[in-house]
Amino acid sequence: MRKKNQTYYVSRQIAWPDGARRVEIVAGGREHASPGELSPAYRSAGEGQEFTCPVEAAEAAIVIARLWRGDDRRKVAITMGASLGGMFAVDEVYSVPELRKHAADLASRLVRCDQCGEPVKGEGESWFSDDAPEIEDMTFCSARCARKAIDFYVRDRAESEEV
Ligand SMILES: [Zn+2]
């Protein structure tokens, strides 16, 4: 099975029954969010959105927690849940430095586009080209990047044939 990237969903949660406020980052996407999700109030900061890059999700959660704390005058924790085999498993509280470190660790293991280096959605795109068989084992974020890679190998071959 090919490696694939998860999506990270950011939501605001009020825990039951203690009313604790937390910004939750959950791996696996929106369907893995805890049931106490509030309707998004900080959409432009990334609330209610899915991120492929855990660093972007973490930075969004930090901003949302600060905004919410400012508006609500209550303590807001940030949690990040790991998804194991597609099942929501752990939901741990992180300090901001811990969260940044954890997100960076996760980001270092992302499947990235072999052309531009950006994290791919899911398992990315595979392409085949008779003109550039080299790309067969590569992963791309988009058709644009796949075409760039094909162009590169086609041009490279044309140049070496000229000599
Ligand atoms: Zn790309």
How confident is the model over 106-128, as pLDDT tens digits?
Answer: 999 999 999 999 999 999 999 99
For residue 140, the CA-to-ligand 1 centroid distance in Å is 5
Stated pTM of the model: 0.83
Ligand 1 centroid from CA 79, angstroms: 30
The per-residue pLDDT for range 21-80, each reduced to its tens digit, is 999 999 888 888 888 899 999 999 999 999 999 999 999 999 999 999 999 999 999 999
Is there a contact between 115 and 140 (Cβ–Cβ < 8 Å)? yes
Measured distance between the N- and C-terminal CA atoms of the chain, rounded to whole angstroms: 41
CB neighbour list of residue 75: distance below 8 Å, 6 or more residues apart: 20, 21, 69
Q: Could you tell me what percentage of the chain is helix, strand and coil, using 3-state DSSP and rounding each to the nearest 5?
A: 40, 25, 40
Distance of alpha carbon 118 from alpha carbon 113, whole angstroms: 5
- How many whole angstroms from 139 Cα to the centroid of ligand 1? 9
